[in-house]
Amino acid sequence: MITNINEREEELALYDSLPVGICVINPEFQVLFWNRCLENWSGIKKDRIKGTDLRDKCEKLNNKHFQKRFELIFNGGPPDSFSSQLHKYLIPSKLHNGNMRIQHTTVVASKTDSPGKYNAIIICEDVSNLINEVQAFRHMKDTAIMELNERIKAENTLKIVNNKLNLMNSITRHDILNQLTVAIMSLNLLGIEDLIPADSKEYKSFKRIESALENIKQQINFTKDYQDMGVESPGWYDIGRIVERTGRAAFRDLAVTNELTGYEIYADPLFEKVIYTLFDNAVRHGKKVTGIYFSASEDNEGNLNIICKDNGIGIPEAEKEKIFDRGYGKNTGLGLFLSREILSITGISITEDGVYGEGARFLITVQKEMYRTAESL
């Protein structure tokens, strides 16, 4: 191995091809080898620096603490590392932008031909890009945390405002409904139907007032449902049980065929109102409805298609999309509008594709990620 500056450098030729800076010094800190990478980094040719004292180029090597660590190396001690976190560099060199190159430096002992004598091989790895990326990541993380905290504050403030608005809406809605109830009951107590002929203008005006009050009441109730929509997180709901419960509770006169057993969908908690609306729509607008049928099947894309059809008159072609518009219909025109809004929260769609004269047929399409079967649980 190399013992002085005149030894053969071909044994170190491999070091010239490595993408790290490598320098070999003897116990007097004289440079024995300076590889091509260090030439490029420092701009100092090996012929100029070979034989010189490295301490003249590297001020840190004049530090007693550094010299003690190198003394251990010259005595054949274990490898030593100079972390870029504590020591930015050992051999100074600048990047193209003028900043100092950040290095992770490792020093290892190298035996010489003289017993008990060791040289030091200094290996410098350029970690500037890595350090910059780490710093950029930390900055990005700190920025993200700050933005997240600001968002949390804004969301908390928004929740407080929404709670206050909801409270005000509830109080106002309650007061309006109370006044409507008084008005409706007062009309009934007047007994006008017994006093005015059914074919008179006055009787028709009375019925219009009565109908208008009922519509206002339904619209006020709609505002509560719309306000509650999306307030609570979606969940998994057994659609077969909901159909069974709804039919048994409010539509006992209908013959209900329920083939939805074993299916659950991920939907807003107001999903039950969607099923109720489908029952109610069949009774109100089907004219001759005696039965309603629910079934489900999976399509080629893995989506779940829920079918609700009745044996009523059906929906004319020109109205198949209009029935989902707010305000369209013979009553308040809010049920199917609200149903589509409720379903859309979790990406579920609803359309009507029945044949007019053969009954209404509603198609509810649930994306494959939004439903599950009893077998999959």
- Asked if 243 contacts 294 with a C-beta cutoff of 8 angstroms, the reply is yes
Q: Is 156 in the same domain as 35?
A: no
Residue 339 lies in a domain: yes
Taking Cα atoms as reference points, which of 135, 89, 346, 117 lies closest to residue 239?
346
Q: Is 372 in the same domain as 246?
A: yes
Mapping DSSP to helix (H, G, I), strand (E, B) and coil, where does residue 81 land? strand
Adjacent-strand bridge partners of 257: 293
Q: Is 287 in the same domain as 336?
A: yes
What is the rounded CA–CA span in Å between residue 106 and residue 81? 4
Residue 363 lies in a domain: yes
Q: Is 283 in the same domain as 159?
A: no
Q: What stretches of 62-127 show up as alpha helix (H) in DSSP?
A: 64-74
Q: Is 102 in the same domain as 155?
A: no
Distance of CA 135 to the CA centre of its chain: 26
* CATH number, position 25: 3.30.450.20
Residue 66 lies in a domain: yes
Rounded mean pLDDT for each run of 10 residues along the chain, 377 residues in total: 47 81 93 92 92 91 90 92 83 88 92 87 89 81 88 81 68 75 75 71 78 74 66 88 91 91 91 92 85 94 94 91 80 76 92 92 94 77
What is the rounded CA–CA span in Å between residue 131 and residue 124? 15
Q: Is 43 in the same domain as 167?
A: no
- Asked if 304 contacts 265 with a C-beta cutoff of 8 angstroms, the reply is yes
Residue 4 lies in a domain: no
CA angle (32 as vertex; 28, 36 as ends), nearest 5: 140
Q: What would the two tokens of residue 351 be?
A: 């359309």
Answer with the one of 175, 208, 228 that is the final residue of a domain: 228
Answer with the one of 87, 109, 126 that is the final residue of a domain: 126
- Write down the pLDDT at residue 196: 74
Answer with the one of 70, 99, 126 that is the final residue of a domain: 126
Residue 51 lies in a domain: yes
* CATH number, position 362: 3.30.565.10
Sequence-distant (≥ 6) Cβ neighbours of residue 308 within 8 angstroms: 278, 292, 293, 294, 361, 362, 364
- Write down the pLDDT at residue 3: 44
DSSP 110: E
Q: Is 269 in the same domain as 205?
A: no
- Write down the pLDDT at residue 50: 92
Residue 1 lies in a domain: no
DSSP string for residues in 239-262:
HHHHHHHHHHHH-TTSEEEE--TT
Domain count, the chain: 3
pTM here is 0.51
Q: Is 186 in the same domain as 280?
A: no
Residue 73 lies in a domain: yes
Q: Is 356 in the same domain as 239?
A: yes
Full residue range of the structural domain in which residue 71 is found: 9-126
Q: Is 118 in the same domain as 135?
A: no
**How many CA atoms lie within 13 Å of 187's alpha carbon, on the beta-carbon side?**
17
What is the rounded CA–CA span in Å between residue 317 and residue 358? 12
- Write down the pLDDT at residue 5: 41
Q: Is 239 in the same domain as 372?
A: yes
- Write down the pLDDT at residue 330: 62
Residue 16 lies in a domain: yes
Taking Cα atoms as reference points, which of 337, 345, 341 lies closest to residue 268?
345
Q: Is 243 in the same domain as 353?
A: yes
- Write down the pLDDT at residue 8: 52
